[in-house]
Structure 1
């Protein structure tokens, strides 16, 4: 009950009404700020009202220039008719029954209004009359005709005798009250036509105010057009000043966003062109170096056909160079295939635990040769994923090979597998040399090497991690690298298979 009284209290109702009003006002103001159409409509309505006000003032000030005077008798005739009707009403209502009193009243009307008053019977004989009236007999037909003509066609410009009659009854005798007299003239004024000053004032004020109030918006539109012209000339670092939150402000933001995206696209194209040039240079270098070695040692075999220990060494070196050349070509072909469209995956649901165990066992001898050891952290439960086994084996091989090749010796390679956020997370970590953030961000770029030297002892094709990223993304997963406290880690997330 107390809550009901509180809800119905005037203070509570007033406060709620005030809050509701302020909310409506804020929303209206916000909508007005965001709508260019509403701003223009409001501006036009304001200018129209201001122009109408100015035109009205101009009309009032110049109205006398367009008026001409004339003599008018209609007002006097209407007043005389009204006075006659009033006297007839007094007689009909028998407010005055004494003839002497009625005679005095008729005399007073004649003196005040200027009408000769006659009271006649149905035969036209005068029963009573005012002091200045001289008639003793009246032709009712002519009087009625004249009175009807005045009622139907009253010429207010020409002076003419006024005649009015009304039926009355006095002391049981029926008759007519007839009034005659000349109306008084009055000077009146009438317009001679359209005020030729008010209309130009209206148009001038309307156009001037609308121009002044919209000048800022039209100037901003011109500024946007000029900015688009500047951007079209290739100056993509040019930005438009954003003013307001209406459609023009939104257009300015979109123009800036377009310039930023164009600038980013051009930068990406430049980077792609640079990468292409680097690709040509790197491939030329990587193909030429082993080919030169192969050709050199084959030439030695040709020049020393007798054989011996040197021939075996030459043959071994030529074979290793040919193998390196083969791996480079295979990596390049595989990356090109994975980067194209229509790559087909032969998915199988496999246990990631078993796949990791198998690959780790295969790489243990290679790691031990480099004074490295594998540390596995695998869950007891089996974690299943839907992958193409052949391609995903390549992912693990590349990660393990990089860890063995570039990890600090002696040391360990940590392999962790766990369930995470609707999928699984596989991490491969090893201690590595210090790495700059820029180098970390570019690890998955093709032909990028942290070590810029072209030594065949440490440098691969530069495509391994790019191939890893392509395969992981083809499986709907993601991969990222981070470097923290001297440890380089690669984290792969793969979605769980659909049940």
Structure 2
């Protein structure tokens, strides 16, 4: 049953139908030919005219005409006329007089001389029409009778059919071929329409970004493909739901973990402040300073973890507006300048104005971007003791360049291997429709934050 529902079975049915129509057509032609070749009953009912048989019959019946009268000859001619409608016959007496004619279209002389008779026989011999001359009875005094049949009557039945119905047969065959082509086109057009419908369904997405299910109307190969597509959509939807549940659990876990970590961290910071008021040895002061640094780093990590979770959930507040980025970065650097000075960094700042000087960004997001980059320099490039913040303007973009002389990053990817702080930078920069590049080697790291000139237009 599965095979009979397939497209292959349907197309084979079309082919069998076309072949059957051709076979029925040929069978009809054969029956038609057999029907028209039946010329009656008696001596000439075979349907296929043979010259020798006709000649023999004509001579035999002429010989039996012992009583050659006009009525007897007329009856003989009439009998042959019924069998051969295109035949013409006439009777010439012994004296050469043209006595009786039947269906004669040519102009014959009323008086047949020996010379004319000889010429007539010479012209008709082996020519068209087929001519038979026979004497009446056993006595030549009765004269002779002549039978003329157009040679086209001796053509095979198929040739006659083709001559009479050739156009009909030709257009019939063309009609069968056109029928097969049209049915095939309709068949494949239906297949193409269903495939295009399936393609459209694959391209349409619902609110979750998943393809929609398609209605299965048939159970052939395309129907099975549509069923498999629907099953895939259901599996994707189930997977999406599981992913959303897992994502929600992860966010809740991170939020709870951050809250649980901040509580003891606050207590540790308070105890550290209390200890700092006591009299400590030099080693104790160094240990307390290291502990404070660790507390600050842990707090920053927790903050980054919370921020990254909110960004991934699209719940981090985003309020873009047009700001003077040169002024913004210069003011933001003033808060970091003392920090780098305290760590002994050489600070190189060259903020040259460029056009357009206004970027449409969220000031809090852009500030967070530079904060994370500067924190990354303090933590991972402290050995180089150098930081540079410059501007760059080209025909393609305007940019800020932050460069250090640290040992570089092991991985030059924008987010991968660069820590959660730079992962947040990557998400925020893309969210503000900016671009950034990282170039890092053993001699240092260069971070370029740029805005394309195309976006300005």
Q: TM-score range by the shorter chain?
A: 0.3 to 0.5
Of the two structures, which has the highest relative contact order with CA contacts closer than 8 Å and spacing of 6 or more?
Answer: 1
Q: TM-score scaled to structure 1, two decimals?
A: 0.42
Q: TM-score scaled to structure 2, two decimals?
A: 0.45
